[in-house]
Amino acid sequence: MKKIINTLYIMLAVPAMGISQQLDEMGQFEHGQQLYQTNCTLCHMDTGAGSPPMFRALNQNEQLINNTLIVTNIKQGTGAMPAFPDLDADEIAALATYIRNAWDNNYGEVISEEVAAILAQMDQVVQMSSVWDGVYTESQAQRGQSLYSGTCGACHGRRLNGAPEDPDMVSTPPLARARFLRVWEGRSLATLFEYTRVTMPAGNPASLTNEEFIDVIAYMLFVSGIPAGNHELQPDTTSLAHILIERQ
């Protein structure tokens, strides 16, 4: 189930701004808000406040003046931020318009032609795949299992269903199966990897190595009933950004 997203960006002549264009801008802001909620709120929050220093604030962030920076960060990722390679020029323009004008921001709209121009300078062809394409190995999931039980299991439960064995502890988000896939659907493994790496384990973030984190993610996929393949999942955000989490 491999899907190729056509990402041949064509430079278009920029038309004069008319009434219909302004109406489009309204739609673009709302479209951007939708994309923001799917892709960004996990770390940057609904309020754009982020969770510094782990996740940067977007509200009143003066770097938003720079459209090239916005586009490259979304497309290629930066630091702990994963790439979102499947977003096309229209979508990135909508998203950029939203974050530049939401909350207390007032940095003006971004049109998709401008985004397309920036993207034209970057790598063009994006191949997206799915977690269902055999992206990890069974032995990797086995390694992940023993890491999971020591590091994650106390809170997320032996069955990865968010039910801690210690009944004094409150329930946590499930890390496998239908509910997990529903919550994470549409995001890439890079987002999952970075979010996990930066925030977990809750009391002591980043106490596993990157290799260990990716093994735990392999185990989560295994328990979710997602089939293993012949190649191990690599802790490399660029390649992980091209693997989408989907329900079957």
Partner 1 sequence: MTKKQDNNHDGLKKSHDQSLSRRDFVKTGAAASLGASALLNSGAANAQDSSSAFNVNWDYEVDVIIAGGGCAGLTAAIRARDLGASVMVVDQNYDLGGRMLHSGSFTSLGGGDPVQLRDIKGDPDKEGFITANPAEEPKELDDSIDLLFTDITDWSVLDPKAQSPYRYNDRELVRAWAENCPATRQFLIDNYVRFARISGTHGGGGLSRARGARCFFMIGEKTDIKAGTITAEDAGVADYERTSAFAPVQMMDASRLVGPGAVMNGAALSRPLEYSAREKGVEFMLHRHFDEVIRENPFSGRVLGISAHYSPRQHPDTGELMQSYWQNGNVDERRQTVCIKARRAVILASGGHAGNPEIRSMFYPAMREPAFPTSGVALQGPHGQDASALIAGLRVGANLSGMQQNISYPTTFHIAPRLGTRDAYTTMMPGHPTFGFRGSAGINVGSVGFEEFIAVNQVGKRFFNEVRLPARPSPSRYPGADGGSPGRGLDHKPLDWRNCRKEWVREMYNYDHGLDAALAINEGSEAPDYYSGPLWAIFDQSAVERTGWEMRYPYIANNGYSFKADTIEELAQQIFKGHEFQRMPLKYLTETVATWNRYVNDGVDPEFEREVDAPMNPIVEPPFYALSIMVIWHDSYGGLRVNGRQQVVDMQGQVIPGLYAGGEAVGGFNKHGLGKGHVHGYIAGTHAAEDSYA
Instruction: Specify the stretch interacting with partner 1 by CB under 8 A; choose among 22-30, 130-138, 161-169, 231-239.
Output: 161-169
Using alpha carbons, select from 207, 203, 229, 205 the residue that is nearest to residue 218: 229
Of 161, 210, 234, 239, the residue at the interface with partner 1 (CB under 8 A) is: 161
CA 68/CA 66 separation, integer angstroms? 6
Q: How far, rounded to the nearest angstrom, does the alpha carbon of residue 160 sit from its chain's CA centroid? A: 21
| CB closer to partner 1 out of 158 and 231 | 158
Using alpha carbons, select from 201, 210, 232, 20 the residue that is nearest to residue 135: 232
Of 177, 235, 239, 246, the residue at the interface with partner 1 (CB under 8 A) is: 177
Of 50, 201, 229, 235, the residue at the interface with partner 1 (CB under 8 A) is: 201
For β-strands 243-244 and 126-130, DSSP reports them as: parallel
What does the block give as tokens for 233? 């999942």
Of 101, 130, 140, 151, the residue at the interface with partner 1 (CB under 8 A) is: 151
CA 9/CA 126 separation, integer angstroms? 12
Instruction: Specify the stretch interacting with partner 1 by CB under 8 A; choose among 10-18, 147-155, 213-221, 240-248.
Output: 147-155
CB contact at 8 A, 233 and 214: yes
**Binding residues for partner 1 restricted to 24-53, rule: CB under 8 A:** 51
Question: Is position 22 an interface residue for partner 1 (rule: CB under 8 A)?
Answer: no
CA 223/CA 31 separation, integer angstroms? 34
Question: Is position 16 an interface residue for partner 1 (rule: CB under 8 A)?
Answer: no
CA 92/CA 88 separation, integer angstroms? 6
Instruction: Specify the stretch interacting with partner 1 by CB under 8 A; choose among 88-96, 98-106, 131-139, 150-158.
Output: 150-158
Question: Is position 57 an interface residue for partner 1 (rule: CB under 8 A)?
Answer: no
Question: Is position 186 an interface residue for partner 1 (rule: CB under 8 A)?
Answer: no
> Residues near 8 by Cβ (< 8 Å), separated by ≥ 6?
124
Instruction: Specify the stretch interacting with partner 1 by CB under 8 A; choose among 25-33, 34-42, 172-180, 187-195.
Output: 172-180
Residues paired with residue 55 on neighbouring β-strands, in sequence order = 51
Of 48, 82, 85, 153, the residue at the interface with partner 1 (CB under 8 A) is: 153
CA 187/CA 246 separation, integer angstroms? 8
Instruction: Specify the stretch interacting with partner 1 by CB under 8 A; choose among 25-33, 98-106, 108-116, 168-176.
Output: 168-176
Of 46, 165, 185, 236, the residue at the interface with partner 1 (CB under 8 A) is: 165
Question: Hey, is 174 helix, strand or coil?
Answer: coil
Which residues form the interface with partner 1 (CB under 8 A)? 51, 146, 149-151, 153-154, 157-159, 161-163, 165-174, 177-179, 182, 201-204, 207
